[in-house]
Chains A and B, each alone.
Chain A
């Protein structure tokens, strides 16, 4: 059984602010900070909070769709900033549910004996797809209006350390074979010849992500089955969750499902009050809810997003 500890994020007040975006406000980290700088701030806080040393980290998993470079991705730039030269790195691009996928992967690395301490950074700077005045096509308008920034980091470890920790009871992951048309970014498209992306694409704005809430279809039968199986597998099918944290770019489509399936829990559906924070959105509310949590409380994290993919994790508060 793995432990999740050192949960941290870069200070919202010190490193970011709410900024206007299409008649609402979204959270944005300072544009002067590169993605790996923000990630490093968070990771240093995680390391400090867990009371471990950088040399204790043997794997780094980065889950993001907004790295410093197209390739190599965030993980390489992050270990450069943290001066880590002894760890393996994994770069995941699983929009929306990357954090849950990363938790499950880190747990597998720990349980298989391949890792002792996996540092996970889950971060998306989605606001950077658009500027305040970026003219966009109608298809990208929803994304522009909702996209915000979010970052958090934590360790998945074999052993507990100092500070708040969570026991990972179980996870469920699924990517369906549905070809996504509600939340996607078509370009660059490697199968477009001779060039996957051209200056003309950029001039006409075809390179922006598209979010179409009206086209979002919830695979509710499969999702319900996965959650039921997960509850049975982790032996929490009879007991309530203290919190159910749900993250998705289209919360309005998910709210009825969550209300129906998590009736006994205090439900936190990530609303668009500070915008959609991508992979970080499934974890960040845990920080906000920390003072309300007590030992043995159970929390369900659920994220749904692009690719008709989802991830769910059940955590139990240890201390």
Chain B
């Protein structure tokens, strides 16, 4: 069974509070906290990091090195890497090669560049699981990392989404073990009906030119994130509890068996709805107040922190669940061990 044998995470050093945002947009701590539960987030900026570096690949490297350490493995023990991000350090090739460079894997290995946004990490987990289960790989690294802060509209026009996003990374090392612990269940799904309700339009190859200077103007500027908040909230609040129940049912388990739910951290109100719908708010992990929404990084970052905090112990049944742009969603039931 595919087992998580190491976890790690990294966030930039610079804390950006809600009050800090009022320096360049009309907003307030109360307005942001009320609508999202977010109090602060981390934004990478040169000059703040102790190492002096703060790229997407740097964050990925720090999280990966920590995950490898906790698994007591070297990078050379890996057979493949799944790199999940929508904010690479260059448009193409993505940041994966830079991560391999930092891990000193000069000869390289199979590396997937996955662009599944909020569902990125669980999609990455599914990819790695298929390689481990099929016997092609013995060990894999899955990284969820985002540097969202450089792609935001830093004006009042963009405040609806800009205040939500932060930077961060999380990573897991996976191994196929014949044990009873590991990934018991994993489901993924999508419905493109709402593809335009959440995301970033430009660059877009549905038109020429694929980018224009005009893409940065206006309330719904194509180069910046846009979100139909009500549509997303309604769909996420409905789908996430369904997914948790689905993976439990498939394994003949109940909510009482669950030790912890680690959901994608998009909005505290969605997390509250999840806890309410499942009647177990105390089991829903949340770090959104301090990190905001780090897209593909939220779940592995939260998982790594939960392990350090002692909220995930050997033998615990935990559920990872996500919903986001696409719309795409996923959940995984894991017996920790």
Q: Which residues of chain A have a CB within 8 Å of any CB of chain B?
A: 31, 34-36, 60, 65-73, 75-81, 84-95, 101, 104-105, 107-109, 111-115, 125, 128-129, 131, 134, 173-180, 184-200, 202-203, 207, 209, 222, 306-309
Contacts and interface: CB of A to CB of B under 8 A. Distances in A.
8 contacts: A91-B115, A93-B92, A177-B100, A178-B97, A184-B90, A189-B89, A200-B213, A202-B212
Contacts of B231: none
B227 to A, nearest CB: 12
Interface residues of B, number: 88
A191 B89 contact: yes
B190 A89 contact: yes
Interface of B: 44-46, 54-58, 86-94, 96-98, 100-101, 103-117, 123, 126-127, 129-136, 147-151, 154, 186-193, 195-196, 198-206, 208-216, 223, 325-328, 330
A195 to B, nearest CB: 6
B213 A202 contact: yes
Given A70-B199, A88-B188, A199-B213, A185 B112 contact: no
Contact of A70 (B114, B203, B209): B203
A109 B113 CA distance: 17
Contacts of B186: 114
Nearest to A109: B130
Contacts of A69: 195-196, 199-201, 204, 206
B190 A79 contact: yes
A71 B117 contact: yes
B195 A80 contact: yes
Q: Which 7 A-B pairs have the closest CB atoms?
A: A80-B192, A307-B93, A88-B188, A199-B213, A191-B55, A176-B108, A112-B133
Contacts of B89: 189-191
A185 B92 contact: yes
Given A194-B150, A222-B107, A88 B189 contact: yes
A49 to B, nearest CB: 23
B91 A185 contact: yes
Contacts of A308: 97, 108
A108 B92 contact: no
Contacts of B110: 101, 104, 173-175
A21 B137 CA distance: 44
